[in-house]
Structure 1
Amino acid sequence: MARRSRGLLEEQTLAVVRAAAGPVSVADVVELLEGAPAYTTVMTTLARLCTKGVLVREPRGRGFAYAPATSPEETPAARTARSMRRLLDAEGRRTDVLARFVAELDPADEEYLLSVLRRPPADPPRPGS
């Protein structure tokens, strides 16, 4: 069997999880993926998707059940926000980075950001992610 790229396996795994009627186990995903990938490969892929904020997981038996963290339409924004957060966390001068980011926004984006910051806090993320 030819090796899949990590990106392709992540896409296929995400498609399987999204198509399911509810949260799925690693074994469920292995069964539904073409090409009989190794259980541990799928388990690692699901864990990476959780780390990226694309999936959430909840305890089920001795393992976890996985579900999408966001709708398909929201996933690109969630991935980008997570990447931005990681970059901000990696930089030692947070206030400088944030100030520079805001200074480089166009006026419409700046107004939108201000409106978002004025909103009441949203519900916290689901546990298990």
Structure 2
Amino acid sequence: MVDRHGGGVEPAPRRRGQGVLEAQVLGVLRGAGEPVPVAWVQERLGGGLAYTTVITILTRLHAKGAVSRERVGRSFVWTAVADEAGLAALRMRKVLDAESDRQAVLTSFVTALSPNDERLLRELLADVPEEGAEGPEEGEG
């Protein structure tokens, strides 16, 4: 688009990606300290986001298990149940769940890690109790 002074072209405003918006919404919710309505979240996000955009992001986060909602009157109030790291982990899990060969995906993931990340992952896995070591498995009673 040409600017008003007849000069060059103004760049179009950059759109935030879905992941960026999700992280921002989670950050706002985590700072709330109590369940809040959509309008409250929209106001704190700034940037002229449409109310419907904020609802869409909250609904997607709810579907991912990153936020909870509770009906109050005719609308919902929202609460964060995950942080940004939790949201990233949910995304990773979704990708893994969509693949038929989990072993191949995990193998590719681990072999692509930096040495520091691989060491960290090994340390984290060493701290996790083995499945079934602490009690009955799911479905047993």
Q: How would you bin the TM-score normalised by the shorter chain?
A: 0.5 to 0.7
Q: Which residue of 1 aligns with 2:116?
A: none
- The aligned length equals 111
Amino acid at match of 1:37: L
Task: Indicate conservation of the 8 Å contact 1:54/1:79, yes or no.
Answer: no
Query: d(CA) in 1 for partners of 2:72 and 2:135?
Result: 33
Give 1:45 shift: 0.6
TM score, norm. by length of structure 2: 0.58
Q: Which residue of 2 aligns with 1:55?
A: 67
User: Alignment partner for residue 53 of structure 2, among 25, 32, 41?
Assistant: 41
Contiguous gaps of at least 5 residues in structure 2: 1-11, 111-121, 137-141
Give 1:68 shift: 1.6
% identity of equivalent residues: 34
Task: Indicate conservation of the 8 Å contact 2:29/2:79, yes or no.
Answer: yes
Give 1:111 shift: 8.0
If asked which structure has higher relative contact order (CA below 8 Å, sep 6+), I would say 1
Contiguous gaps of at least 5 residues in structure 1: 92-96, 122-129
Compare the two structures and name the one with the higher helix fraction.
Answer: 1
Amino acid at match of 2:18: R
User: Alignment partner for residue 66 of structure 1, among 55, 78, 84?
Assistant: 78
Query: d(CA) in 1 for partners of 2:58 and 2:16?
Result: 15
Q: Cα RMSD (Å) of the superposition?
A: 3.6
Give 1:23 shift: 1.4
* Larger Rg computed on CA atoms: 2
Q: Which residue of 2 aligns with 1:116?
A: 131
Answer with 16-25 or 52-61: which moved more.
52-61
User: What whole-Å deviation, never above 9, does each CA across 1:71-114 have from its counterpart, x for those lacking one?
Assistant: 555443344334433x26xx4xxxxx56x57xx69xx7998777
TM score, norm. by length of structure 1: 0.62
Task: Indicate conservation of the 8 Å contact 2:29/2:80, yes or no.
Answer: yes
**Cα 1:34/1:120, change in 2 over 3 Å:** farther
Give 1:17 shift: 0.8
Q: How does 1:1-129 map to 2 (within 5 A)?
A: 2=13, 3-85=15-97, 87=98, 91=100, 97=101, 100=103, 115-120=130-135
Task: Indicate conservation of the 8 Å contact 2:23/2:84, yes or no.
Answer: no
